[in-house]
Amino acid sequence: MNTNLLTRFRDPALARELLGDIEQLTARLLAARPEISAERPLRLMEVCGTHTVAIARAGLRELLPPEISLISGPGCPVCVTANRDIDRLIACTRLPHVTVATFGDMLRVPGSSSSLALRKAEGAAVEVVYSPLDALKHAVEDPGRQIVFAGVGFETTTPLIAATIKRAAAGQVSNFSVLAMQKQVPPAIAALLADPEVALDALILPGHVSTILGTEPYRFIASEHGIPGVITGFEPADILWGIAQLLRQLWRRTPEIQIAYERGVRPEGNPVARVAIAEVFEPADAIWRGLGAIPRSGSQIRSTYTAYDAAHRFELEVEQTVEPRGCRCGEVLRGVLAPDHCALFGRACTPQDPIGPCMVSSEGSCAAYFRYQIHDRVPRTPPQQPAQSEDGKR
């Protein structure tokens, strides 16, 4: 990436210019839509954990007009991993001659009664890796142990996991497998838009995921729901430019899917990566923390590569799943509760002693709010209906 180009997108003068455009567009919207106010602001949701952190770090919430509210959604793959899946992964650490290889963010995520970090402290074999290829290398170097990679991530991570499984198959590495827990973003967005309590006005769409998907999988947002969406990058000017485009669409009442990150995203995405995913994985129903069961929102390993599917290779004794007492991470992920409006936030739940995954992950909304001392300006009404369990039943 050209460093001069990045410097341009971090330029305070450009940010001030874009903020001026946003103020003008907000004024036009207020004149055309009197129902918008500081008490009932426009709700713009970002569904990318990197955006959540970038917005918090740059202090963008405080710079925007009070009639615009930025809402963090289910953009953190660690956070949306269901407690049941965490328990399955922990169950792998109790198998003899098994090493669990995982990204670092997963270590301290609490399951029903333990975590990978606690299991490691108890003597279980848990290794932090930076890519699935590192896990495969462990398997090659230690053929006497089974290496199980924790397959967590969105469409950005899945191509590399697919390539690793293909490499393991080509090399006949028989002691490597993946516990597939990856998620797909568009079905989760569809579930959010079908939830009347969420009530979004526009979407800041993920930059990294969109490098793989392109724009087509998001078309339903505008065509079926009449809601604008813009794919943005991660510098302050990227995000502000995306917000300005969303406001312009709302003012003109012409919802569409736009790209404000041309240097990273093409309309067609990355067809080669999508072919790699389709060769190894197929869509499957999946349970999301906070959103419940979403059809065809997960990725399961195809029968061709069953030998590398840890769920088929091992019989796991998984404990009864219990949700963290008092944790409202699910509501935070749905955008109906601001992190600092949870009673545990900053008190019983901190990054040093987290209760829920939104405070654990570096991309979690609660962790970002805590680190950058954000206080949400607009209280959100908590759900008045019974909490949804992880199997989608009430």
For the chain, what are the domain ranges?
3-72+199-260, 79-184+269-313, 327-371
Q: What integer pLDDT is reported at residue 384 of this predicted model?
A: 40
- How far apart CA 319 and CA 114 sit, in angstroms, is 10
Query: What is the spatial distance between Cα 311 and Cα 179, in angstroms, rounded to a whole number?
Result: 6
Q: Please answer whether residues 233 and 251 qualify as being in contact, where contact means their C-beta atoms are separated by less than 8 angstroms.
A: no
CATH of domain 79-184+269-313: 3.40.50.11740
At residue 8, the pLDDT reads 74
Which distant-in-sequence residues (6+ apart) come within 8 Å of 329 by Cβ?
Answer: 79, 289, 290, 356, 357, 358, 359, 366
Overall CATH class of domain 3-72+199-260: alpha beta
In angstroms, the CA 339 to CA 336 distance is 10
pLDDT digits (tens, 9 = 90+) for 23-82: 999 999 999 999 999 999 999 999 999 999 999 999 999 999 999 999 999 999 999 999
What is the average per-residue pLDDT within 363-373? 94
Dist. CA 201–CA 327, nearest whole Å: 27
For the CA atoms of 36, 57, 352, 365, the dihedral, rounded to the nearest 10 degrees, stands at 30
3-class secondary structure, 99:
strand
Q: How far apart are CA 75 and CA 210, in angstroms?
A: 13
C-alpha distances (whole Å) from 237 to each of 17, 35, 75 are: 9, 28, 20
Alpha carbon distance 202, 336 (integer Å): 15
Burial 217-245 (b: 16+ CB within 10 A, else e): bbebbbeebebbbbbbbbbbbbbbbbbbb
Residue 340, CA atoms < 13 Å, CB-side half-sphere: 13
CB 267 within 8 A of CB 215: yes
- What pLDDT is attached to residue 386? 37
- Interval 82-93 mean pLDDT: 97
Terminal-residue alpha carbon distance, the chain = 48
What is the token pair recorded at 177? 């497998």
Helix, strand, or coil (residue 330): helix
Kindly tell me if the per-residue pLDDT of 378 is higher than 80: no
Listed in sequence order, the DSSP H helices in 2-157 are 3-9, 12-32, 49-58, 60-63, 77-80, 83-92, 116-121, 132-141
- Strand pairing partners for 292? 288
Report whether pLDDT(9) > 60: yes
- Tens of pLDDT, residues 183-204: 999 999 999 999 999 999 999 9
> Are 3-72+199-260 and 79-184+269-313 in the same CATH fold?
yes
Max distance between CA atoms of the chain, in angstroms, equals 70
Quick: pLDDT tens for 315-353. 999 999 998 889 999 999 999 999 999 999 999 999 999
Instruction: Note the pLDDT of residue 382.
Output: 38
Nearest of 375, 373, 357 to residue 103 by alpha carbon: 357
**Residues 196-220, mean pLDDT to the nearest whole number:** 97
**71 strand-pairing partners:** 45
* Amino acid sitting at position 137: K
| Chain mean pLDDT for the chain | 93
What's at 20, amino acid-wise?
A: G
**pLDDT at residue 244 tops 90:** yes
